[in-house]
Structures are given as C-alpha cells and as structure tokens.
Amino acid sequence: MAASFAEGRPSRRILLKVSGEGFSREGETSLDTEQARLLAEQLKTLTHQGVEVACVIGGGNILRGGQAKQYGLARATADYMGMLATVINGLALCDALEAFGQPARVMSAIDVHKVCEPFIRRRAIRHLEKGRVVILVGGLGSPFFTTDTTAAQRGAELDCDLLMKLTMVDGVYDRDPKKHEDAVLFKDLTYEQVLQRQLRVMDQTAFAMCRENDLPIVVFNMHEPEGVVRVAQGERVGTLIQG
C-alpha cells in the first residue's frame, strides 16, 4: 500500500533505522548504553501515543563488512560478524526499553534463538499491534547487504507508512556538510530528484526499494531533541523524500 507523509498527520506505524553510531558516543566505537536509553525514552512515548514502532538496528559501531580487509577477513565472514553486531545493539535497546516498562521483542534474521525470536512477518505484526516495540536485528540474514536495505525491505514488508533514518547531520544536503560550510539542506525532495542529483541518502538497493514501494523517508539528526517523537507526530524535521 502506498504511503505518504503529510504535515500534522501522525504516523500509524513507523520503521526507524538506527545506525550503529546511534549506540556509541560521537566519534567513538563500541557500545554506550546511555545512547540506547535516550532512544528508548522516545520510543516509549511514541507507543503510548498509539504509534507502532519497528526498529532496524545497525552494527557499524562494532564492525562493518566493508572493514574486512583491514581485519584480514573474508568479506562474507565480516558481513556475518556485522550482522551479529546488530544483535548486540538490539539487545541493548530491548533492555533499555524494558527498564522503562516498555514491552519490546528482538527478532533476528539469523538464527540466535537463545537470545531472541526469529523474524516471522506475521508474528512481528502481531507484536506491533499489541504495542510492543519490535527490534529487528541480523539485517536480512545474508551477506553483501546493509541494514539500510533491511530497513527499506522490512518497512515495505511490515506495511509501515514512514521510514525514519537517523544520521549525524540535519538531513540531506547538496554537498557533504562536514566538508563544505555552505552546503544547502533540502527540506523536500522527490525520489526522482535524489536520483537526478545523485544525492546520497542510503545505499542504492535500499533507496530503490523505498521508491518502488512508495515508502516516504525522513532523514534527520539523531541528536535532534525528541526528533523521533516529533516526526511521528507529523512535524517537519530534516529532509522528507517522497514521490
């Protein structure tokens, strides 16, 4: 079902993509559970407002497949390690949510049944309907993909009406804002404009999937106060991309 973002209209079900860097202090690697707690607080508020929340978790704070050479690893091995890294972050978020009294379930695309459930679409939807935050880990379960692609795929599969991508900058710019002081932030973009201008929003597979499924994307700064809650309420924050 095609979705659209309209200012002032709250979301019904969101897919939140949280990169591994959302689980570590700025500029650091490894895990900082305080970051998970800050996010968990917002997710609890959202579910209390009746918004269903599914999160796809990244693992880049621990390891990315792209670092295979650096570690002398085969690419596929490093990818599986990256997928396992997302499990670690996802468990930290689940723990933080439960500490706030917010029910949550971790569902994995790779088999780690001692620590979380397998991802089963119908079961995930059931959890969402019951007001549980669904934390999706293990990516798509296959090497050579990213958790951005996972977010796009699960967003479509779970019939979410919005994909939120948290980043370290305020949204999508015409140039890298970390290198160019005069970089211009876009407020609105269509999928076509992103392709024509060759803007980097997410990897190509992920972006193509959002476009094909009319899944609107909002890109905004993970340090934006109450950003996740505000966007889900229909407030314009960061950059909105839709058809």
Sites of contact with ligand UDP (CB under 6 A): 19-20, 58-60, 64-66, 78-79, 82-83, 85-86, 139-140, 142-143, 145-148, 150
- Using N-to-C axis directions, what is the helix angle for 204-212 and 147-157, rounded to 10°? 10
**Contact predicate 186/201, CB 8 Å:** no
Residue 10 beta carbon to ligand UDP: minimum distance, rounded to whole angstroms = 26
Task: Identify which of residues 33 and 233 has a Cβ nearer to ligand UDP in the complex.
Answer: 33
**Contact predicate 137/85, CB 8 Å:** no
**Contact predicate 61/24, CB 8 Å:** yes
- Tokens standing for residue 200: 């980097």
Question: Which candidate, 23, 143, 147, 15, places its Cα nearest to that of 90?
Answer: 23
Residue 46 beta carbon to ligand UDP: minimum distance, rounded to whole angstroms = 20
Strands (E) in the chain, as ranges, are: 13-18, 52-57, 104-108, 117-118, 133-137, 162-167, 188-189, 217-221, 239-241
Task: Identify which of residues 66 and 243 has a Cβ nearer to ligand UDP in the complex.
Answer: 66
Residue 234 beta carbon to ligand UDP: minimum distance, rounded to whole angstroms = 26
Residue 4 beta carbon to ligand UDP: minimum distance, rounded to whole angstroms = 25
- Per-position b or e across 61-70, b if 16+ CB within 10 A of its CB: bbbbbeebee
Residue 221 beta carbon to ligand UDP: minimum distance, rounded to whole angstroms = 15
Task: Identify which of residues 65 and 216 has a Cβ nearer to ligand UDP in the complex.
Answer: 65
Residue 172 beta carbon to ligand UDP: minimum distance, rounded to whole angstroms = 17
Task: Identify which of residues 131 and 143 has a Cβ nearer to ligand UDP in the complex.
Answer: 143
Task: Identify which of residues 147 and 242 has a Cβ nearer to ligand UDP in the complex.
Answer: 147
Give the number of C-alpha atoms closer than 13 A to the C-alpha of residue 170, restricted to the C-beta side. 14
| Integer Cα distance of 242 and 162 in angstroms | 10
- Tokens standing for residue 31: 């895990």
Residue 56 beta carbon to ligand UDP: minimum distance, rounded to whole angstroms = 8
Question: Which candidate, 143, 163, 178, places its Cα nearest to that of 219?
Answer: 163
Task: Identify which of residues 65 and 238 has a Cβ nearer to ligand UDP in the complex.
Answer: 65
Task: Identify which of residues 78 and 231 has a Cβ nearer to ligand UDP in the complex.
Answer: 78
